[in-house]
Amino acid sequence: MPKNDSQLDDFFGFKPIGEKESNKESFREIAVKKINAARLELLPKILSKKERYLIFSLVLIILGSVIAVPFSSFYHFTKIAPDYGGSFSEGIVGEPRYINPLLSQTNDADRDLVSLMFSGILQYNKAGKLIPDLAKSYEISSDGLNYTVYLKENAKWHDGEPLTADDIIFTIQTAQNSDYGSAQRINWYGVELEKVNDYAVMFRLKNKYAQFLNSWTINILPKHLWQDIKPINFALSEFNLKPIGSGPYKFKKLKKDKLGRIQSYELESNKNFYDGRPYIGNVEIKFYNSEDEMIDAYNKNDVSSLSSLSSKNLDKIKFKKRLSIKNLKLPRYFAVFFNQNQSKILSDKNVRLAMNYGADKQEIIQKVLNNNGLSVNSPMVDGIIDIQSGAKPYEYDLEQAKKLLADAGWNLPGDNGILQKKDEKLSVTLTVPLLSDLMDTANIIKDQWSKIGIEVKITTLTTPELQQAIKERNLRGLKSYLNADYTCLFYSPLPSNLNFLPSPFLLGNKCQ
């Protein structure tokens, strides 16, 4: 080992004679580095296997700490938050016609778009409970006959005009006017309105009605745009397809095919929305003729989400792992309705009870709804409006059904096992809308009732034909579904001699 600086320099072949002192220092640093590097190269040979493993572990721990500390601090002192922007697309079966709160009740596509572009006084949250929407607060008088709502003063229409009490009153009075043909009319029959001030409205009822607040989910129309449109032109207005509302999204553009059919709607977020700008910047709704067509579009990545898909078609979907599938309990039930005015047979209670016991609801739920449904026993669907029906359940019982028919005098077997009473055959006609689920259900009912001696003749009608037949009371048995709008079912003040009785044995709540 060299004993002094000169020897050290000579050892590495350096000759710093005559050089400045600073140069000697730099040469010395280089030499030391070379010696240290040489020692490090020899280190693995000097250390034992155990020592090498220990040093390697320590190095990994140090490196891991160096990397982990910044990341740990980042996650500890920050949080994930949504950002504004992005886009979302969804497929829907059907086509919009009236994106109008007073005309949208019979079309899923219309209802979906209305919910995005319009606002109600109240709205339902994810748990199905009523919460404020346009309402800031409300009061109910001690006698339950007067309701006063106080509106949020920062709500505006998409064109910038303020939303006031005048818009609330105009919308409801328009719904009450039969000339406009709104299905919302029945919910507001007999209700009087009074403007308290620009942001307060009083509702006066003639009788107490515990479910009146549910009517407040009606979406509101802008008076300044609709007030001059006559009833005869109400359904023809351009605002039905290019609406101006007050909701979280506003109309941007629509796209039609060569035949004039609407293919898609593009919406953009309402930056002035009274409850805060939505995070998703753009929403595109695409429309398809069938579920198969909609599924094909999803499988080709044309849409990122699907709406109201029947469970029987889930197996056709690709990329299921990237989907979040939600099973929703819909406020809708399927039932057979009896018109006793048109059928003497159906006026006999024992016959109706026999049909009750002779229908296997579980078979219908299994085969038609793919087990995605519930058996119910009343038009009051349990759990929908916090009311339990308490109706008596009727289990499938062929022997009880046959006994009831015999008690009613239907005890003579005829052709194909169909029962007779003297010369009269036990035969009923079941009218069904041209919807696949309902037609499948009707065929199952036909087979089930044949086992107890009842002949079922099935008649199918299009929706317009069915509506006309109901209007003319020209039906005997109707297989259909209803949304759980109990105002229409039990609080209708309108005169009617329809006498359709929902059969409790075939009530089934559909789940998507």
Q: Which of 129-138, 201-210, 370-379 has the lowest mean pLDDT?
A: 370-379
Residues 6+ apart with CB under 8 A from 1: none
pLDDT computed for residue 378 by the predictor: 73
- Six token digits for residue 217: 């989910």
pLDDT confidence band for 385 (50 / 70 / 90): low
Quick: pLDDT tens for 216-227: 999 999 999 999
- The 10 Å Cβ neighbour count of residue 211 is 15
Helices 349-357 and 398-407 cross at an angle (nearest 10°) of: 170
Half-sphere exposure of 56 (CA within 13 A, CB side): 9
Domain with CATH 3.10.105.10 in the chain: 329-511
**CATH fold of 86-322, please?**
D-Maltodextrin-Binding Protein; domain 2 (3.40.190)
**Res 30: pLDDT:** 60
The Cα 249–Cα 267 span in angstroms is 6
Highest mean pLDDT among 120-129, 390-399, 426-435, 497-506: 120-129
Taking the C-alpha atoms of residue 182 and residue 108, their distance in angstroms, rounded to an integer, is: 16
Domain 329-511: give its CATH superfamily: Dipeptide-binding Protein; Domain 3 (3.10.105.10)
Q: Where are the beta strands (DSSP E) in 157-227?
A: 192-197, 200-204
Sequential DSSP letters for 262-328:
EEEEEEEE-TT-TT---SEEEEEEEEESSHHHHHHHHHTTS-SEESS--GGGGGG-S-GGG------
SS3 356: helix
- Percentage of residues in the chain having pLDDT higher than 70: 78
- Region of poorest pLDDT, from 93-107, 214-228, 384-398, 467-481: 467-481
Please determine, for residue 29, whether its predicted confidence score (pLDDT) is greater than 90: no
Asked whether residue 474 carries a pLDDT value surpassing 70, the answer given is no
476/183: higher pLDDT: 183
Do residues 118 and 247 touch, judged by C-beta distance below 8 A?
yes
Element containing residue 330 per DSSP (H, E): strand 329-339
C-alpha dihedral over 481, 482, 483, 485, to 10 degrees? -170
Contacts of 285 (CB under 8 A, 6+ apart): 89, 90, 92, 109, 112, 113, 264, 265, 267
Please state which of the ranges 159-173, 253-267, 303-317 shows the lowest mean pLDDT.
303-317
SS3 content of the chain, % helix, strand, coil (to 5): 40, 25, 40
Residue position matching structure tokens 């596509």: 109
Q: Give the tokens for residue 121.
A: 């006084």
Using CA atoms, how far apart are residues 107 and 178, in angstroms rounded to an integer? 20
Helix or strand run (H / E) with residue 62: helix 49-77
Cβ 122 vs Cβ 217: under 8 Å: yes
Quick one: DSSP state of residue 187? G
Q: Which of 149-163, 396-410, 414-428 has the lowest mean pLDDT?
A: 414-428
Per-residue pLDDT reduced to its tens digit, 314-348: 888 887 677 777 777 766 777 888 877 777 888 89
CA distances from 478 to 334, 413, 438, 459, 469 (A): 10, 26, 10, 9, 10
How many C-beta neighbours within 10 Å does residue 240 have?
Answer: 17
Q: Taking residues 151-172, what's their average pLDDT?
A: 98
Distance, in Å, from the CA atom of 122 to the CA atom of 130, rounded to the nearest integer, reads 6
CATH 3.40.190.10 domain range(s) in the chain? 86-322
